[in-house]
Amino acid sequence: MIKRFALTLLLSLVISPIHSFAQNANMIDDLLSDYKSVIRNQRQEGLQIDYKAYINSLFNISDIEEQKTRFQSIDKGLKSIDTTSLSQTQLFDYRFLNFEVSVQLEKIRLIELTKGIELRNQDKVFDYSHGYEWYEYLIKKWTGTTLTIEQIYNLGLTEVDRVKAEISALNLKQAAPKSNFTNNESAIEKLIARRLQKVENQFDKLLPRFSRMPSLSVSKGRNRALAQTPAYYSNNTFYYNLFDKPFNLSDIDFLLIHEGIPGHHYQRNYHQQLDIPEHVALSSSMGFVEGWAAYTENLGWELGLYETPYEELSKWNWDLIRSARVVMDVGLNYHGWSDDKALSFWKEHIKDQDDIALREINRMKRWPAQVLTYKLGDVEIRRALDLVRASQLSNFDYLKFHTHLLSKGPIPVHLISILMKDII
């Protein structure tokens, strides 16, 4: 009798976790299915740049109560799951759902809280009713971060200091030579072709290759609305701008990496051919997309680029702009900074580029939180890189790291470290 009881107890201890594991796995699958169903049926918001137009459009959602009920049901289901029994993959999906559902519920709460208070003449989201809460929501929506406002602000300050130290270490005593500036389209495109060949020569050491990647076309930009940026990417084409001033050849390396390969052109096409999870595809994170492009600029040395200090300076100068924007975006949209205060911060750290500053201040007020995507994504990827490198030491492999990093698509940036634990 005692032996039978002992055997029964032992079997219950062994079988119980198996049942718990199976039940949790099934529940995760069911909740993912529910989530995808709601997101598929949502009215597509599209890329709304103006925050006023975006928030006003949310007030027209007709099935808001149904969405609220369904997201609350998913949230309740998540709270009943024992996360200690989840596999690494299930834990990733659990945390994905937990974050995305919380963001959706926060959006609905803010819609209910401010409906009827139309956005019209407010200069920035800080000036709107519950503006600081809308700003916190927009940060999560755009970046996929779980950092607090204070942490983001301090991260920006830290990055400003780090990048300024990199610039100082170059020890450049004079500006780039006049020969670095040209209006000659042929000279620009020949240099771009040579740089692309250098990238191609090192590509397989760093990145997973795939057969259906379209070639990157190169063309002079013709969209004057984008004239203030030195280059941009659209429809498998790298556009360099040559409107009212000569093109700085020292900018080509970091721009080609960011906009082309292995930045936007590569990532966009790689993820299009990859069988990424549908729930990720439905909630693509701009924090990952822009963060990846910013991160890849740090691969310039491994790709055989940045041959002179002037190419390095161009890379760091734009990194400094991105770092300063983090502080300024939080200052303007959360702390209510005036334009003058934001401009003073810019001038303290960035010299002789006030025209860019005014453009960026207007951009941050119109499109709050978007400029955070570059730096927050970049920092999360670099942190994951440091962790993997430290764990693998001499066995570290960029190809393996990037293959795994890209494996699930453009995920919320706070999940990057969780994803990369699989190879630590």
In this structure, is residue 144 part of a structural domain? Answer: no
- Does some domain include residue 322? yes
Q: Is residue 136 situated within a structural domain?
A: no
Cα distance between residue 55 and residue 44, in whole Å: 14
The DSSP letter of residue 210 is -
Examine the fold and report which residue of 121, 142, 158 is the final residue of a domain before the chain moves on: 121
* Interstrand relation of 181-182 and 231-234 (parallel, antiparallel or unpaired): unpaired
92 is written with which tokens?
């990733």
Q: Residues near 269 by Cβ (< 8 Å), separated by ≥ 6?
A: 210, 212, 213, 214, 236
Strand 181-182 to 247-248 pairing: antiparallel
What DSSP designation does 81 have? -
Cα–Cα distance between 33 and 97 in angstroms, integer? 11
Note the pLDDT of residue 16: 45
pTM, full prediction: 0.92
Q: Which residues contact 96 (CB under 8 A, 6 or more apart)?
A: 279, 280, 411, 412, 415
For the chain, how many structural domains are there in total?
A: 2
Q: 187 is in which domain, residue-wise?
A: 150-423
> How far, in whole angstroms, is CA 87 from its chain's centroid?
26
Q: Given this model, what pLDDT does residue 41 score?
A: 85
Task: State phi, psi for 288 to the nearest 5 degrees.
Answer: -75, -45
User: What span, in angstroms and rounded, lies between the C-alpha atoms of 20 and 74?
Assistant: 19
Q: Taking phi first (over 0 means left), then psi (-120 to 50 degrees means alpha), and beta for anything else, what does residue 397 get? A: beta
Asked if 154 and 243 sit in the same domain, the reply is yes
Query: Can you say how many angstroms the Cα of residue 7 is from the centroid of all Cα atoms in its chain?
Result: 53
The answer to the question of residue 131 being in a domain is no
CB 273 within 8 A of CB 214: no
List, for residues 124-134, the tens digit of each pLDDT value: 999 998 999 99
CATH number of the domain encompassing residue 88: 1.20.58
Sheet of 217-220: strands edge to edge?
Answer: 217-220, 237-240, 231-234
103 lies in the same domain as 225: no
- The token duo for 333 is 């949209």
Note whether 19 and 96 are same-domain residues.
yes
Whether residue 165 is contained in a domain is answered as yes
Q: Taking CA 252 as the corner, what is the angle to CA 168 and CA 297, rounded to the nearest 5 degrees?
A: 60
Segments in the chain below pLDDT 50:
1-2, 5-19
* In-domain check, residue 105: yes
What confidence tens digit (pLDDT) does each residue in 95-143 have? 999 999 999 999 999 999 998 887 878 889 999 989 999 999 999 999 9
Q: How confident is the model over 173-229, as pLDDT tens digits?
A: 888 899 999 999 999 999 999 999 999 999 999 999 988 889 999 999 999 988 889
Q: What is the pLDDT of residue 12?
A: 45
Q: How far is CA 17 from CA 4, 45, 392, in A?
A: 21, 42, 32
CA proximity to 263, closest of 231, 220, 226, 308: 231
Tell me if 244 is assigned to some domain: yes
Q: Answer whether residue 130 is part of any domain.
A: no
> Which one, of 215, 183, 179, 180, lies nearest residue 199 by Cα?
215
Q: Are strands 181-182 and 217-220 parallel, antiparallel or unpaired?
A: unpaired
Judgement on whether residues 101 and 233 belong to the same structural domain of the protein: no
